[in-house]
Chain A
């Protein structure tokens, strides 16, 4: 119930291509779904987040798609660049100050 399942574990994309990372959850009490980006040797940083009453949110080349009925959400990186190579974590939060539930991460490599 508390898990967020993330796939794939690793992803290799050609420069200019679209990177897609998927997450699924069970707990319908989750009310916010952020994505974090982590470069090697650094701490993660909040990239983009979405509420379940919105089906899509776009910030630059990064888009979250949200399917409430399927309890799934995904991150799309358009025109992927080598600088996007990082580990991406999806997460979910519940109302109140309870900790985030993180997916296990996807290691993205964008090759030229």
Chain B
């Protein structure tokens, strides 16, 4: 049963704490992406990785960090430096050479109070 899993579905944290969101895929996809979604803002790219041990900043990388130690995994850390971290976070992956075929995970809704 292939796909992308994100855990947990809901996450609550206190302001000032770092939090790591999990993203795992068993589709053997090369590229992985993290997006943030806020009402009326569409999908904003945070970070992406096209290959293991390499990643690039997206449009809104400030206050976030990622790692890509394994092909299957692309965790996102929301640091205390992120001014407004409450949002819906989506992970996606694409097979090599097909950037338009993004497969999205179910998302994690992060609430920071």
Q: From B43, B94, B103, B107, give the contact of A89 (CB < 8 A).
A: B43
Taking CB atoms and an 8 Å cut-off, the chain A residues in 53-112 that contact chain B are 89, 91, 93-94, 96-100, 102-105
Chain B residue with Cβ nearest A91:
B100
* Assembly CA distance A89 to B97 (angstroms): 21
Task: Please tell me if B105 contacts chain A, counting CB pairs below 8 Å.
Answer: yes
Contacting residues, chain A, for B101 (C-beta < 8 A): 34, 46, 49
Residues of A within 8 A of B105 (CB): 43
On whether A99 and B106 interact (CB within 8 A), knowing A44-B43, A91-B100, A93-B99, the answer reads no
In this complex, how many residues of chain A approach chain B with their Cβ under 8 Å: the count is 25
Shortest CB distance A90–B (Å) = 10
Picked from A41, A44, A96, A104, the residue with its CB within 8 Å of the CB of B99 is: A96
Judge if A45 is at the interface, Cβ distance under 8 Å: yes
**A97/B43 contact (C-beta < 8 A), A41-B107, A43-B92, A45-B104 known:** no
The answer to whether B99 and A43 touch across the interface, beta carbons within 8 angstroms, is no
Q: Contacting A97 at CB < 8 Å: which of B90, B92, B97? A: B97
Which residues of B have CB within 8 Å of A41?
Answer: 107, 109
Residue-wise interface mask of B (21-49) relative to A, using a CB-CB cutoff of 8 A (1 in contact, 0 not): 00000000011010000001111010010
- Given A42-B107, A99-B33, A32-B42 contact (CB < 8 Å): no
Cβ–Cβ < 8 Å partners of B50 in chain A: 97
Interface check A9, CB cutoff 8 A: yes
Cβ of B80 to closest chain A Cβ, rounded Å: 26
Asked whether B100 lies within 8 Å of A100 as measured between CB atoms, the reply is yes
Interface pair B107/A97, CB less than 8 Å apart: no
**Which residue of A has the minimal Cβ distance to B42?**
A104
